[in-house]
Chains A and B, each alone.
Chain A
């Protein structure tokens, strides 16, 4: 039904023979979720051309790192993405550990996995809240934000901060988790697994929500891979790849989880992939808690590491909540990095804005771009 609908509209606009017009959305626009601009060229109501413009938040992050010692970059890495701060800090620490050639204690690996998955759920809930407001469903926004608050509390119990956590360290994590944390985390996750069904029921029952997501922003699997789109947006387009499973880091190869992949390639399948990922994250958190418990209380969780990194190069990649992030470190043997490159998933995903929105109606642009889950802190760096 959807496809016939689009064809009808296209036929109508070509008969109208109107002038094409550029509409500039952003940088301050309700749909942009941060500072960026989407220039869209319209033929009637259909988008025929589009160009994203970024850079409003560029602060020279990579250059700034060349001026700091290795431990001082950890709090900066938190600020790359405020919605899931531990993932970038984790990635940075892993990259430096790879360059140092050290293996961190088992316990630290599981604590990091847990931290990552808590952040993944937080990030996905933040995205769900944003999608709710984009599509005019304010209850989804409120419910998702409420659920997110419980995971924020878990962050506080784990390391004392809500958003910019400054938790992973080169060689481990800052502090051990206590028995109370395990209790709260289990309770929080079990509660969330039930609460998420309420949100799913509300979204899937809402015809406004579903009809605006179904059949919009369609890409083929090959095109999506070629454009470099990663993360849930890619898995909703049929690419069966997850760094956690196919190129495991830390102890993800010890975890039992399923990577959701859907082949429809529209906004609705990207939404469903993210929902399923939240359930899988809950599963991973519960497993990691068991593993930490089995290791025992007095096991080490942090190594002492030298302040100077031997000359050489190292890179690591990881599955960020938004896609595949990567850091490349060039070291010259001093206590400051020679060059540190960050590959941000959203930087590449947003560059694919033109093929994503081409051919859809201007009113669908917010819904399509919401499935990319914009975060400008890491895009502009």
Chain B
């Protein structure tokens, strides 16, 4: 089934298409002007991102970041469309005992370093990443400094 390609989808179209196509895997939490907020399942992230890039023409991964919620981790994707200025925020929950997620660096070349950064600061492993090595911190570091378990002076 050849899917239709939308160059400049509206917020309503994006939320309808994502809900239709990935029912049960993607949940639209809320929408605002030029913003779509969604939650995605960890296992389907690659297909969802592929669809958003290929069919909804979201050409750029503005940011990929990690977030430590103490009992679980999160990876948050911000994807943007150059024709409408719409941004999608995808939040993926990772259980604390399985910090693996499929890399999207082959979909968006700009996601490469974002994933490397998230790996070195949070210890989240992106499977299939071309070069998952430390970027900002020295190679000899054995800890992940942005985790909440890593305390700074003044944080008790």
Closest A residue to B147 by CB, please name it. Answer: A63
Contact A228 B109 (CB under 8 A): yes
B contact residues, range: 20 to 34
Residues A226 and B59 in contact in the complex (CB < 8 Å), given A63-B145, A352-B109: yes
Partner of A341, one of B34, B65, B109, B145: B65
Partner of A339, one of B61, B67, B82, B114: B67
- By secondary structure, the A interface counts as mixed
Contact B109 A62 (CB under 8 A): no
Contact A226 B145 (CB under 8 A): no
Residue B137 interfacial (CB < 8 Å):
yes
Closest A residue to B151 by CB, please name it. Answer: A67
A contact residues, range: 35 or more
Report B88-124 CB contacts with A as 1/0, cut-off 8 Å.
0100000000000000000011111110010000000
Partner of B89, one of A62, A315, A355: A315
Partner of B60, one of A64, A225, A347: A225
A96 CB to closest chain B CB (Å) equals: 17
Report A32-60 CB contacts with B as 1/0, cut-off 8 Å.
00000000000000000000001100101
CA distance A13 to B32 in the complex (A): 56
CA distance A223 to B110 in the complex (A): 10
Contact B145 A343 (CB under 8 A): no
Residues A227 and B152 in contact in the complex (CB < 8 Å), given A343-B62, A343-B63, A380-B136: no
Closest B residue to A379 by CB, please name it. Answer: B136
CA distance A134 to B127 in the complex (A): 40
Report A214-252 CB contacts with B as 1/0, cut-off 8 Å.
000000001101111110000000011101001100000
Residue A203 interfacial (CB < 8 Å):
no
What are 15 A-B contacts defined by CB distance under 8 Å? A63-B145, A66-B155, A67-B152, A67-B154, A225-B60, A226-B59, A247-B34, A326-B62, A339-B68, A341-B65, A341-B67, A343-B63, A351-B112, A355-B109, A381-B136
